[in-house]
Structure 1
């Protein structure tokens, strides 16, 4: 999987330069063209969607720091400004410019960040890289694919292997067995070793079927006494992983808002970038 065009949503003036810097650095790491998108949300744009007429908001100057960053970038780069709901503008631009990867960092509030990643991820047929606010470098050298009952892992593994082949990264598939979920709420005695081994085979089988032509995949298994996301977070920190690769949840948007999906729980728990693939 070669990323030729990376779209970075830079946000407003308060965060634009920092977001642009992170996105440009990743594009240089991947040898990809970088597109910086600044979306201005105004009251008028919420009331009149779809208008292409330029307004005062879209004419607002991009911060000079961003202009300097794109000028000095070691890869081809461009800046685009649009007005309207962020999700719609991201999807429109990604489609028009044939974008391969969308990078999203916090724009304003944490809730807005989660909503944007989730909404774009559901609607777009391209990978979304959600990057926490405190991460300023993305190495993409060691990828981890979480393999849980609540998170689809086949597509994530296939994508991670393709990225590894194109960019020389390593991939670890980490199966996390939720002991509380496996034992059930009324099983005070826990689960047997035989049960754990059977559950491990059950979870690993679909992932192994994806195939690993060069034999670069590493498989590991963890048992989680409480929340599997917390066990995964501890593993990621100890292993020094650069990013997680997960498949997007297929639950409805309404269910996702009422109850966090497996993907969202992982994103909200781990402190590394999460690559969400369709």
Structure 2
């Protein structure tokens, strides 16, 4: 574990304020300020510029913060690995997953694990991008779709199916002429989608392929935004089935191609542990897998 002074500095850097860092560390503001001063004296370098309104790191402070974070992540990883030798899961565990997975999968899975091990202290990062697990000190990533080759350990825990959907008002009020007309509807894309979007569907019964193309007219960076805009009738959107189950059941959203389905996407649990996978990580993986199975919809 980092000594008191560097750990204080990491907290100051992340909170952006000595006052907020003091609250986080349960220390007096004067003690935190004095710790920062002592650290700068030990290193013989200025780490932060402080004014009455804000605190900003110097270039040296930015570099020192990055190194301290690496050491902190390694220290935490070493402690967590001890669970593999029988230690009871406790303390911090950091998990990242896409926004769409949080409410229906990650939150109930974590609730199940924390109820079993109340000394766990989870940190959850909702991000549709795949983060660097080692650099970020992340214990577990729940990732959707094909994985790049890497030294990370991956285990398939389930699958998701996306749905092309829209508000019923949009489909009713927009004149369409078969497939070509539907492809002319406005399309709300995730910022990761290309400028010309192609979706490969199959007929539910005959499995005959159907390729459809859309030109995005709106762009969003979260699934929540896509759902909101689609519900308001701004366009067609590609959304995970488990993220829009309530909207489909209520009729706020409907499938644009109800007789066709998209291929399922695999869901993986990814971590950087090798032969000493912590029990807390394994418990979360199992709970996520169980939740995905419970949420699974027939094709």
TM-score using structure 1 length = 0.27
Structure of higher CA gyration radius: 2
TM-score using structure 2 length = 0.26
